[in-house]
Structures are given as C-alpha cells and as structure tokens.
Structure 1
C-alpha cells in the first residue's frame, strides 16, 4: 500500500479506532477501580496505554487523557481523582455518535475491564465478584466471544462461594488471552505465574436457544440419550441437525463429561473448530448437554 493510500486509510478509520480505544479505556478504568485501590503500577499501565495510542492525539479527548495522566505522574495527584476524571471524559465522549453498535461497544469495554483487572498483575476477590456483577448486568452479550467463555468460568469459580488461589490463577490465565499488557515486566510476571495453567473452553451459561431453521451439531458422549435420539428431537422442534461444524452451524451441543466447570479439553476437533470460529467473530453457541435438555423441557 502506498504512503498516500495508507494515510487516507488512517483518516478514514480514525473515528472507528478512536471509538474502540475509548471503549477499551473505559473498561480499563472500570477494571482498575473495581477493588477501589489504585496503585502506581496501574497508573503506569494507563500511561503506557495512552502513549501507544498517540496517533489519535488529534482526536478529542486524547489530548485531555495525555495531559491528565502526565500531570498525575509528575505532580503526585491522587490516583483516585485521576481515574474519576478520565472516566468522566469517557462518558462525555459517549455523547457523540458512535461508530460501533451497542454490542461491539460493550464487548470492547469488557476487554478493557479485563485489561484493568490485570494492570498490576494481581487479581483479588473483590475484583472477581465485581467482574461477575458486571457480567450479570450485561447478559445481552450472551453468545458473543469472549463474554460466554469468561462468564461460564466465573460461574464455576464462585459456585461454591469460595474463591481459591488456584481459581484466581486460572482466571488470570484466561483473561490474559484477551489482554495486551503494555508493561513488559508485568506481562512477563503473568506469563510466568500461569505457565502451567491448562486453559480450556467453556459453554454458554443460561443459553437462549431458538430452534426454527437453526442448525445444530452434537459432540462428546451424551448422558441424556444417544445422538440419533437427540437429532430427532432437534428436528421435531424445527431445528436442523448436522454431523459437522461449519459457518452455518448455530449451536454445538457438548456432551457432559462430568466436569462442573464444563471444560472440554478432552473433546476434539469439533469443539476446537467452534472455538476458533468464535474467536474470528462467528456466533456459534456452545451449549452444555444438560442446559440444552433444560431448554427442551421448557419448549415441551
């Protein structure tokens, strides 16, 4: 691409890039402030993040962001006050027309929240519980990546009311997939701490399933019957059963494997393919067998 056309492209996409950056920054601020304790590492991560978006400096409110963060670091202004000022700027910017739709905006905010939580390399119990509250308040993101994956993992963590260190490490490893930590020191620390954590996918929690004209595929060993019976049930309800996962697949039903967290590392190519499709933006919904049967009962 020529230098001129590259510049033209940057001008053409500047609004979209600015909106995405603001959505992410809003999430980062929310994530940093979840535990109401803001430290120097988190402020430094904010500073590095804004510096890496310097190309947007001519678009409001990035000039204000840079000024506020620079003054905080140089003049020892309260970190809490800084977060409040920055968040106010984000909300002010939201009054303009957004390039992205509401779902995309909220997904970008979610990614920012994950970034904010990991900004200092530490996840505490309050951050875990407040993240779960945010997820619960934004169930309109169900079926979208990575909302389903994060929410299902969160539900498995808090299901017994006790948040253990091993669960914190799993969450840290999982969120690290969606975040690009600017501080090399903290990024290296997180990678080291989670090096031995095995991350596997998770099914949609509380899925909203439609049958009429929708395509279903089944994988894994079922406990509620055999595949033929399940496929016949899908057909009776107006769905279309298939043997393979493709871009036309709306739902992949994952057979129960006895794991309450619904992890499916033991399953093969269908789940792996579905996960890769979700990461690339396809809205295939992974549904646990028992959740699917609950929905079927409701239909009956």
Structure 2
C-alpha cells in the first residue's frame, strides 16, 4: 500500500536507528535466553513474537539472514544452542559496521534485551541471575545510566547472602516486568498475577560516582546525619548548585533516610517519582542515598 508505514517518507531518516535498536534488542534477548543453558518453548515463542513485531524490517540486511537462521532453528531440535550462537555471531558482525548509537546506548539496549530474554519463560532462574551479575560486572562503565544502576543495585542486594529465595525471585520478575513488554499476552497475564502483591519503583544508584563542582543537586526526605539545610550547605561549599526541585538540569537527587540503601521508593513522594519518570525518558539524574552522599562529602575533607 502506498501509505503503509514502510513507505512513509520519514522512514528514510529513522530506519537506521530502528534497525540498530532492533539488533541490540535481539542480541540481548538471545543472551538472556541462553544464560541458563536451556531453551524452552515459551522462549522460542517470545522470539517468534519479536520476529513478528519487526516484520517491517525483514527485507533489509541483516534481517533477512537473521530470519532465515531463526526459521531454520524453529524446524530443528530446539534443545541445541548452536543456532543461538550463530545468531549472536550475525548480530556482532552487523554491529561492527553500526555507528548510529554510541556504545553506552547500544549496551543499554542490549541490557534491556537480556532482561527480556530472562523474562521470556516467566521465571527467573538462579543461573540467569548469576550470569546477569557477571554481565553487569563486565559493563561497569554503565553505572551512572538507567536502568543499569537500578538493576545492579537489585542484583547485588539479591545475591548478598549467596542464595536466591522465592520472594527475591518474584521481586526480580516484577522489576524486569516494569520495563520489558512481552509479546506473549498469556504469559504477560500470568506474570501479572504472580507479581500483583509486589510494588516496584526506583532503586538507588549503587556505589555512585559523585562530582560536585558545577553540578546541580536536589535533596529530599529526612536526613539522619544532619538537617537537610546542613546537607545543602555542604553541597554549596563543594561548589555545587542546590535546587529546590528536580528538573532536566538536575544531576543528583539525594534521598535522606536512615534505612537500607536498596529499597523501593513508593513512600518517598513527588520528587523521587518525578526523577524516576525523567530517567525512564532518558534523563541521567542519579538517585543517591544519603549514606553515599555523605561518604562523598567526607572524601572531600568536609
């Protein structure tokens, strides 16, 4: 059809970005599916859903070749993982020539795909959590980006005692479900029922790299070590700017509370909710726990 999405004039400007994002997503899904070394029917079904979603790109390189490998794999023994390795190799060959996104954006798109792959059978397996932890360690340079920092904090918290209980498993399922949209509606409904009692919001950046000079800080909550005004004074002495509200110019939102640094923010109100929404829209504002803030201040000798 003349007015089909594929033929719309603006697509000559967007197809490259769409293709690169799709490849990064596919790469992550494949890594996530393969993290526990098993391929399940629900995971294959989700991969088929990905193919359907990106059907408009099927006649463009490298999608034609990728789809051929996927379709061939569907007709063969799904217990074999060689075809996933073949697909990952094809994705990597394509990425060598891909310069649309910077490395951080590409890796974040891959990370979201990994969570998609883990979620695609509706269960978070121990091997997957440990493999994801290893991937996060290898990509530590992303520690100031959403959702890397929140996922890293959550995984660190879950693995702190060396075991993963069912409550933690459901919590991980709920968090991944926050920003992964599965194509399998039946599985989506089932996950929704399992996580209905879990409330997930933001998580503080783990081990944040805090710079002061010329940066914009906003503070919220009750501070345990000092009053908020004293904390604001410390920020100002270190050459930073104190703002009363969160905005696109805010670099750090410092959250005061004498509690566990890896918590859900459901009770913290407007500023935290606003910062979380801004991060999901691409802002790089870092949500920092009071304890980490004071550690950074102390490092400066104040």
Structure 1 residue ranges (4+ consecutive) displaced by more than 4 angstroms after TM superposition? none
Match of 2:32 in 1: 31
For residues 183-218 of structure 1, what are the alpha-carbon distances to aligned partners after superposition, in whole Å with 9 as ceiling and x for unaligned?
Answer: 122112111111111112111111111111111111
Match of 1:87 in 2: 88
Quote how far apart the aligned CAs of 1:249 are. 1.2
Distance 1:294 1:155 in 2: 19
Distance 1:149 1:67, change over 3 A: same
For residues 149-190 of structure 1, what are the alpha-carbon distances to aligned partners after superposition, in whole Å with 9 as ceiling and x for unaligned?
Answer: 211111211122221101110110100111111112211211
Match of 2:77 in 1: 76
Distance 1:48 1:216, change over 3 A: same
- Alignment partner of 1:230 is 2:242: no
Contact 2:39 2:78 in 1 (8 A): no
Distance 1:48 1:71 in 2: 16
Give the TM-score taking structure 2 as reference length: 0.94
Query: Aligned ranges for residues 1-300 of structure 1 at < 5 Å?
Result: 3=3, 7-76=8-77, 78-300=79-301
Quote how far apart the aligned CAs of 1:139 are. 1.8
Quote how far apart the aligned CAs of 1:260 are. 4.5
Quote how far apart the aligned CAs of 1:31 are. 0.5
Contact 2:143 2:149 in 1 (8 A): yes
Contact 1:231 1:241 in 2 (8 A): yes
For residues 95-123 of structure 1, what are the alpha-carbon distances to aligned partners after superposition, in whole Å with 9 as ceiling and x for unaligned?
Answer: 21321111110110000000000111111
For residues 215-236 of structure 1, what are the alpha-carbon distances to aligned partners after superposition, in whole Å with 9 as ceiling and x for unaligned?
Answer: 1111111111111111111111
Distance 2:244 2:137 in 1: 33
Quote how far apart the aligned CAs of 1:263 are. 2.5
Distance 1:11 1:216 in 2: 41
Distance 1:77 1:63 in 2: 21
Distance 1:43 1:243 in 2: 49
Distance 1:55 1:140 in 2: 34
Distance 1:75 1:297 in 2: 60
Quote how far apart the aligned CAs of 1:237 are. 0.7
Distance 2:249 2:96 in 1: 37
Distance 2:147 2:244 in 1: 25
SS at 1:222's partner residue? Answer: coil
Q: Give the aligned length.
A: 299
Q: CA RMSD in A?
A: 1.7
Distance 1:270 1:88 in 2: 43
Give the TM-score taking structure 1 as reference length: 0.95
Distance 2:283 2:98 in 1: 26
5+ unaligned residues in a row in structure 1: which ranges? Answer: none
Contact 1:211 1:234 in 2 (8 A): yes
Quote how far apart the aligned CAs of 1:144 are. 1.5
SS at 2:75's partner residue? Answer: helix
